Amino acid sequence: MHPYERLLLENKAWAAEKLAEDPQYFKRLEHIQTPEFLWIGCSDSRVPANEITGTQPGEIFVHRNVANLVVNSDVNLLAVLDYAVTHLKVKHVIVCGHYGCGGVKAASTQTDYKPVLNMWLRNIKDVINSHEEELDAIADEEERSNRLVELNVREQVCNLAKTTIIQRCWKKEQRPDLHGWVYSLKDGIIKPVFEMKAGSHIGSIYEYDL
Ligand SMILES: [Zn+2]
């Protein structure tokens, strides 16, 4: 059996188990998609949104990329954000990073990862650059990397607040609240590190006349 065939077999077993528990399970899910949360997380295979939050299919709208970045020219992310905020009307947007993030670590080095990854990781290098003093003062390498993960999450939450998608919704409907969380691979616990309630200010130059 090829390794990928195991996934298809497991899928059949999972579907059968769900039906045995609740014969209406798929019928209900098919017609309802009203998640309260948008999750912007890292692509890392060890940080699956539903499993670590104990949520079911239908509860979280998910976008994942390397190092959970919110880049203002990323059409993919902006389309997900717009759909989740404007159409699904989510009440919370969560940016969830994780300690030990490979993307964050890679951005901290001078290694050339070739054009595409260099371009993506540049966003994190900018976070390092704007918090150089604080980061340089941390002697322990792991601690410094952990702090950078937190600062990165905070920066991405601010990037959300700089979009007209969020600002328009804040003005009209007083939602969504924005959350910056960091997941620990060591103990499975999520630590909230930053929050912006709907209607927060981000600095006048970023605030649009909507
Ligand atoms: Zn990661």
Question: For residue 55, how many other CB atoms are within 10 A of its CB?
Answer: 15
Set 28, 46, 122, 136: catalytic member: 46
Burial 121-150, CB ≥16 within 10 A → b, else e: bebbeebbeebeeebeeeeeeeebbbbbbb
Find out whether 43 and 98 touch, Cβ atoms under 8 Å: no
- For residue 49, give the H/E element and its range: helix 49-53
Set 63, 98, 154, 175: catalytic member: 98
Tokens coding 97: 């990073």
31 pLDDT band (50/70/90 cuts)? confident
Per-residue pLDDT reduced to its tens digit, 173-209: 999 999 999 999 999 999 999 999 999 999 999 999 9
Q: Strands 177-183, 190-196: parallel, antiparallel or unpaired by DSSP? A: antiparallel
Set 96, 101, 158, 169: catalytic member: 101
| Per-residue pLDDT at 164 | 98
Residue 100, phi-psi category: left (phi > 0), alpha (psi -120 to 50), beta (remainder): left
Instruction: Clarify whether 28 is annotated catalytic.
Output: no
**DSSP assigned state of 166:** H
Instruction: Clarify whether 87 is annotated catalytic.
Output: no
Distance of CA 137 from the midpoint of ligand 1 (Å)? 24
Distance of CA 65 from the midpoint of ligand 1 (Å)? 8
* pTM, two decimal places: 0.96
Whether pLDDT at 1 is above 90: no
